[in-house]
Amino acid sequence: MITRMSTLFLRTLREDPADAEVPSHKLLVRAGYVRRIAPGIYSWLPLGLRVLRRVEEVVRQEMDAIGAQEIHFPALLPKEPYEASNRWTEYGPNLFRIKDRKNADLLLGPTHEELFTLTVKGEYSSYKDYPVMLYQIQTKYRDEERPRAGILRGREFVMKDSYSFDIDDEGLSQSYQRHRDAYIKLFDRVGLRYVIVAATSGAMGGSASEEFLAESPTGEDTFVRSTDSGFAANVEAVVTPAPAAESIEDKPVAEVHHTPSTPTIDSLVDFLNANTDRKFTAADTLKNVLVKTRQPGAKEWELLAVGLPGDREVDMKRLEASVEPAEVSLLEEPDFAANPFLVKGYIGPKALQDNGVRYLVDPRVVEGTAWVTGADQADHHVLDLVCGRDFTPDGTIEAAEVREGDPSPDGQGTLVTARGIEIGHIFQLGRKYADAFGLDALGQDGKPKRITMGSYGVGVSRLVAAIAEQTHDDMGLAWPREIAPADVHVVIAGKDETVRARAEEMAAELDAAGVQVILDDRTVSPGVKFADAELVGIPSILVVGKGLANGVVEIRDRISGERNEVAADDAVAALVDVVRG
């Protein structure tokens, strides 16, 4: 079927929409792919829907290829399963909650672990039934605090979510690996540049949860990569390489100094450099940052002191990830008042340890290192306080900011920061949901065995925008062939009847060869047609115009920008070759 621009439900815009900040949003609106209905809620017009469907198809094929089976759940769900898992409350304001006419609570599904678990429980009972992998490609709802960038972060969006169900951990890790491989294939097929990062450093070495991030300056996720190796990680997951321990013997004895008005690291370093014959930098100081943590379900907050080199700030996200599932908060004035041994600006390890405050240090604070740190009285610091001699921390913590130039944890190269768009997430859930719903299989030994699960998401609609972010140029969209809304955009560039007739003929030949064609048969100027062709972003553009008098037409490659004059008689065959790759 040939898509004719004269009748296609498409009106391109010359101006960027006022609310758009990122290129994919601007271009998808201008090229008539999507239209905004409300914040974070978009409709898909014909060209946009084609791309979305093609992306879905790639995802579906790769899921099917690993033996996952497609099913489909409603988006409108009863509250009860989400109460059983506690997510009715845990999900907080992101959950769309509604009431039906009988005043029963319902929700719009943000993700479907509960339903998949219940469904498997309903159908399967024996260990022989397992393993099983199920997936759906479905509309999800999340009342995002900040819907942004068009379809990149919507409140209604399309996700592929799959779930694996296994008898044991070994099975789970295989299902996880299968998904990981499938994701690599599908993201490669849609032509994205991406990295796989460990989502958290976690007790399980990071393999239990990984995110796929499409590299893009407009992404909301920051990650670091090594200059010299394939290492990439979420900032939260970076494990600081610890330097070797130093010898304690050759260190001078610790000495308290009067350091008037030096509550900040800068003022302290300036004072020391002016008043001693040694040279100090902020990295020689040990800064002790006080926070409080609270375990889930607990009422009481506990003090936690984080010791880190004075040239680094605490990164709250890294700290949060390190103390998870406990919550963490900075100390407030009443906390200081209640703990008078905390002398602001002069807190040292001694008072912390004397008063039973848990004291965790940055991994760079290794045995034998000497520090300038607070002496627990106003206007005083202690010099040459040696770790392992003068104080012994309760352990280490990943809480310090990660900086460009830091050594890569894999020992190769240094770290640089980059930004990415989360396009997929694979996660070993374990038994959380199986426990909540009592999902067991009768084992070979006749005893029930608790099932272990994985959950795996791909942001299908987000992928459309992520691909646009990576492939667009100044003139418009430029789709990779695998997911483009058509293969060839034929532009009739002239009023001459022979030009029109020949273009129609070539479009028909392409169509007959199985090539998807958009034919610009409108009566507008060639300039308008060219601009629209560039904007719409079909990978090949065939221009039939003046050259036809000399038997030539032009083939443009939208992605490389390359333009070639070819004999009109050869053009169809040449394009069929390009399309078939």
Work out what residue 154 binds among ligand ATP, Mg ion, none; the CB cut-off runs from 5 to 8 Å by kind.
ligand ATP
The residue count for binding Mg ion (CB under 5 A) is 1
Instruction: Compare residues 157 and 223 and give the one whose CB is closer to ligand ATP.
Output: 157
- Convert 44-110 into a string of H (helix), E (strand) and C (coil): ECHHHHHHHHHHHHHHHHHHHHCCCEECCCCCEEECHHHHHCCHHHHCHHHCEEEECCCCCEEEECC
* Three-class DSSP category at 517: strand
Does residue 54 touch Mg ion according to CB under 5 A? no
Q: Which is nearer to ligand ATP, 161 or 532 (CB)?
A: 161
Q: Which does 424 bind (CB under 5 to 8 A by kind): Mg ion, ligand ATP, none?
A: ligand ATP
Nearer to ligand ATP, 157 or 391 (CB): 157
Which residue, 347 or 466, is less far from ligand ATP as judged by CB? 466
Please report which helix (H) or strand (E) contains residue 560, including its range: none
CB closest to Mg ion, residue no: 425
Say how far apart CA 252 and CA 368 lie, in whole Å: 11
Q: Which does 157 bind (CB under 5 to 8 A by kind): Mg ion, ligand ATP, none?
A: ligand ATP
Q: Which residues contact 207 (CB under 8 A, 6 or more apart)?
A: 173, 176, 198, 428
User: Which residue number, 237 or 423, has a Cβ lying nearer to ligand ATP?
Assistant: 423
Which stretches of the chain bind ligand ATP, using CB under 6 A?
A: 111, 142, 144, 153-154, 157, 159, 422-425, 457, 459, 461-462
Query: With 0-12 CB in 10 A as exposed, 13-18 as middle and 19+ as buried, what is 277?
Result: exposed
Which residue, 213 or 506, is less far from ligand ATP as judged by CB? Answer: 213
* Positions 390 through 429 that interact with Mg ion (CB under 5 A): 425
Nearest-CB residue to ligand ATP? 459
**Minimum distance between the CB of residue 554 and ligand ATP, rounded to whole angstroms?**
38
CB of 153 to ligand ATP, least distance (A): 4
Residue 131: asked if its preceding bond is cis (omega within 30°), the reply is yes
The distance of closest approach from Cβ of residue 162 to Mg ion in the complex, given in angstroms and rounded to an integer, is 14
* Residue 287 burial (10 A CB sphere; 0-12, 13-18, 19+): buried
> Would you say 350 or 425 has its CB closer to Mg ion?
425
Alpha carbon 488 to chain centroid distance? Answer: 33
Q: Which does 142 bind (CB under 5 to 8 A by kind): ligand ATP, Mg ion, none?
A: ligand ATP
Q: Hey, is 19 helix, strand or coil?
A: coil
Instruction: State the nearest-atom distance from the C-beta of 384 to Mg ion, in Å.
Output: 46
Q: Is 153 in the site for Mg ion (CB under 5 A)?
A: no
What's the one-letter identity of residue 335?
Answer: D
Angle made by CA atoms 353, 244, 385, in degrees to the nearest 5: 35
Measured between alpha carbons, how far is 16 from 23 in angstroms, rounded to an integer?
Answer: 9
- Closer to Mg ion by Cβ: residue 54 or 425: 425
How many angstroms separate the CA atoms of 254 and 372, rounded? 9
Q: How far is the CB of 226 from Mg ion (least distance, A)?
A: 23
In which element (H, E) is residue 464 found?
Answer: helix 460-471
Burial of 263 (0-12, 13-18, 19+ CB in 10 A): middle
Residue 159 binds: one of Mg ion, ligand ATP, none (C-beta under 5 to 8 A by kind): ligand ATP
Tell me which of ligand ATP, Mg ion, none is bound by residue 423, counting a contact when its beta carbon lies within the kind-specific cut-off of 5 to 8 angstroms: ligand ATP
Per CB under 5 A, residues contacting Mg ion are 425
